Structure 1
Amino acid sequence: MIHAPQRLRRVLHAIVATVMLSSATFANAPLMAADSEAPALENLSLATLSQHLSDQAPACMRFEQRRWMADLDFELPSEGYFHRQPDRLVWQTLSPVQDRVVLGSDNPKLPPGLKALLPILNGLLAGDWESLEQHFQASLSGSLRAWKIGLIARNSAVAEQLEGIEASGGDTMTRLNVIFTNGDRLALELTPEDCAILTAEAPTP
């Protein structure tokens, strides 16, 4: 069991880094049952879904995250929210500890790998497939109301660390699953939220 706040903070930073730097490989766990009332669109294309998500893209979302760390034989749940901005993403963890990470090119303390995470997350959340397809091969199924996409890394260096990424949702992305080659697993559940409400809940610096 982990008790040290410093250890938890390190783990949380690692989680954020992986979600973004790895935003390249979520896969292999059924994230969402197909909507029986939504007709399956066999010809659903990335371009169609991209436009759909772009029209609906939320600026703020709550997240519930579960990270299984194989080397520690330990699962760490966390909750919080993030706020997407044009050139950055603010990732605020509220529990089990409070932690705030600003992912943006104007943050000199961020390593290059984390800076690369911003366009990847934006691609998944806002349907910017053009940036994603430069690094991943996509496999899409379902309908606009219940879609699922799997991403496999084109880059061999990324593939050595990530087995795959899977995302699913409807008007917005609601779930992400990631499986890493070292045995770690990560699951995110996302819910759109009014940014004003989240700002009011934000911890005082």
Structure 2
Amino acid sequence: MAYRQTNKITEKLQFKKKEILKAAREVFAENSYQGTSIKAIAKKAKIATGTFYLYFTNKEALINMIVEEMFHELLDYIKKERACFTDSFDKLQASMEACIKLFVKEKNMAKILLVQVPGVNNAFNVKLIEIENELIKLTKEDLDELKNQGRIPAEDTFVAALAFVGSFRQVIINWLREGKPENLEESFATLMEYNLRGMGKPDANS
């Protein structure tokens, strides 16, 4: 009986923690990282400010968990989209398109995570590097397959993967900071063609 009660308490605590995370993402998206207070998050989550500290030591610990959440969401979404294809070019395109679609959907949070937060705490930079490295790894796997199939020239696929992911990252960052390109999704075709031609594929649509 006591064991079941403990499980219920644990489930209740986990549920409340998820509610705080959900509220925090909404408040951060409405304001900014620097402009969001713990008090505002607590109010959105309908808890006392003091209760917040039962779940998170500070705002940095909270945003770190949000980064972790979005990291898994992004990877899960990428893998889901890739699973729809068997061709290496299609999988490569699916990876990049998934990134753009998620960032467009979560633009305000993407701005916080990619533009605002990195300058606050080096630990966040480490996590963002992990995310980028995972995407580079997937990209390299696709390029290795394409090279083995003779569909792209023999080249350093690691360097090519770095360049591929880096170009997408730069365009996304500029979109978040400067608002250009105005339509990120429309820039996808240009980015893909630019990278594929750079790897020696004469027709990105073939």
TM-score (norm 1): 0.27
Which of 1 and 2 has greater Rg?
2
TM-score (norm 2): 0.27
Between Structure 1 and Structure 2, the one with more strand by share is 1
Higher relative contact order (CA 8 A, sep 6+): 1
Q: Higher helix share goes to which structure?
A: 2
